[in-house]
Structure 1
Amino acid sequence: MNFLQMKQFSILAKHQNMTEAAEELYISQPVLSKLLKKFEKYLNCELFTRKGRNIELNLNGRIFLESIDIILNEYQKINEHFFISKNVDIPIKISGFNKNELDLLIVNFSRQYPNISIEKNPNTPMGALNLLLNKKSDVIFTDNFSLNKFNLETKNIDFINLFRNYLYVSVLPNNVIAQENEISLNELLKYEFIGAIKNTWTSEFIENVCDNEKVNINYVHKYKMEMLDKIFFSTPYLVFCDSINIAYFTNYREIRKHILIKNAFQDIYLCYRKGDNRINLLVENIKNTFHEIFNYS
């Protein structure tokens, strides 16, 4: 059994669900099923108890996982000592999202690897992508609207589809549309909005969606992004927000109703420069924590 297969087994054991593990490994469920049979044939024993799509580690599986965890942890220590230390004085530059989101996404990584310096640059999807292409950033968050304008295949850049971010309209409970579960952009044209100033992640997302639908929203006021928490509490006007905003400002779910806007979403991508093991560690950490932090649907 090689290192990759050990990592695959570890991920399968973590999820104990064939579908979820296959998604993280970027392979199909039938391929993962074959891998599991291969593991069990190699060890000449069953490692899981099958329960439909869910599986549960049995005693053999738990013993095997303990041994694999030791090997994977030792491998990580080797990486840290021999590869990460070479560039430890050069900060990793990460761009995209707003400051609050960036802080949340790297806090665990910074605790785990305190010697690796991170330089944060909040930015829009297009702004972050331009920084990466001009070699002024190492890891970025961007979206499908921006990526569709470039070809990254020859740029020594890799990318991962992280998350589908949906757009919502936020209203007070007594608003006439508060009972709706979904609404179209065209239906919102007769209402008054307040919105974020330009050059923020959310404002660029909204602009791209509105451009696609060829609609012009009636804004009566624009606010700075740092005012969003106060606005959610008080304003009678309609406000656009996305899955990430709602996941971050959890206490506002009780104050305002969030109505899904039909056909309004962005696919969020994590793009990064190849060839630096510190960057690979950061990317892996972000992949593992992103959905735990920003999970609202």
Structure 2
Amino acid sequence: MLEQKIESTFLFKNNLFLAAPLNSKYATLKEVDLNLLANENFVEINGDLNDIIKTAPLIDHLRNTENIKINFTYHYDLDFAYKNLFFTPHLYLSDSLHISYYTDSRKYRKFIKIANQSAYQDIYICHRPNEPHVSIFAEVLKKTFMDIFIA
């Protein structure tokens, strides 16, 4: 069997956001540097995260790259988080992919973009070079994501 080269096409940036209650002192901000939140208490989600989109590696990358300490004081297990995270009075970190998937969360949370330089990851679609409709698929995927995220 011949080995085929795999190519990638850029889709979008997956940005990291501070998820704050609507009545939070941060709710009026559009962006915030995580260094300004060093004394705040955050929720960390524990559990088997292997089957879901992972925000944790993005947070870990940001913490390591920019030497930021995040005070994870509250620990929710995965099942509890799925049912209650939007309604918690505590801060947590989320990303564009989760925010666009859980559109109802925007009724209960204000999402403030994290302004740190490393607070994003590039999302690509991987494909074989001879796939005829990859560019069309990529454009539809980008448009759909942006429509959901901005809605």
The answer, yes or no, to whether TM exceeds 0.5 is yes
Cα offset for 1:223?
3.8
Tell me, what secondary structure is at the counterpart of 2:57? helix
Please tell me whether residue 253 in structure 1 is matched to residue 102 in structure 2.
Answer: no
Please tell me whether residue 207 in structure 1 is matched to residue 60 in structure 2.
Answer: yes
Q: TM-score, structure 2 length as denominator?
A: 0.77
Please tell me whether residue 271 in structure 1 is matched to residue 113 in structure 2.
Answer: no
In the other structure, the counterpart of 2:17 is 168
Give the Cα–Cα distance (whole angstroms) in 1 for the partners of residues 14 and 92 of structure 2.
Answer: 16
Residue type of the partner of 1:181?
K
Listed as ranges, the matches of 1:129-278 within 5 Å are: 156-197=5-46, 201-223=54-76, 227-262=80-115, 263=117, 264-274=119-129, 277=131
Give the Cα–Cα distance (whole angstroms) in 2 for the partners of residues 288 and 183 of structure 1.
Answer: 30
Give the Cα–Cα distance (whole angstroms) in 2 for the partners of residues 201 and 253 of structure 1.
Answer: 20
Please tell me whether residue 293 in structure 1 is matched to residue 148 in structure 2.
Answer: no
Cα offset for 1:162?
0.8
Residue type of the partner of 2:32?
I
Give the Cα–Cα distance (whole angstroms) in 2 for the partners of residues 207 and 255 of structure 1.
Answer: 26
1 or 2, which has the higher strand percentage? 2
Residue type of the partner of 2:90?
Y
Change (3 A) 1:196 1:271: farther
Tell me, what secondary structure is at the counterpart of 2:55? helix
Give the Cα–Cα distance (whole angstroms) in 1 for the partners of residues 121 and 86 of structure 2.
Answer: 26
Change (3 A) 1:290 1:180: same
Instruction: Tell me if structure 1 keeps the 8 A contact 2:41–2:74.
Output: no
Cα offset for 1:172?
0.6
Change (3 A) 1:231 1:213: farther
Gap regions ≥5 residues in structure 1 = 1-154
Give the Cα–Cα distance (whole angstroms) in 2 for the partners of residues 269 and 225 of structure 1.
Answer: 27
Instruction: Summarize deviations over 1:167-202 as a string: whole Å, max 9, x none.
Output: 100011122222222110101111111123465521
Instruction: Tell me if structure 2 keeps the 8 A contact 1:170–1:256.
Output: yes
CA RMSD, 1 decimal: 2.6
Give the Cα–Cα distance (whole angstroms) in 1 for the partners of residues 55 and 92 of structure 2.
Answer: 11
Instruction: Summarize deviations over 1:207-264 as a string: whole Å, max 9, x none.
Output: 1122111112111234455654423332111111111111111122121111111032
Count of residues in Structure 1 that have an aligned counterpart in Structure 2? 140
Higher relative contact order (CA 8 A, sep 6+): 2
Percent of matched pairs sharing the same residue: 31
Instruction: Tell me if structure 1 keeps the 8 A contact 2:21–2:89.
Output: yes
1 or 2, which has the higher helix percentage? 1
Instruction: Tell me if structure 2 keeps the 8 A contact 1:195–1:203.
Output: no
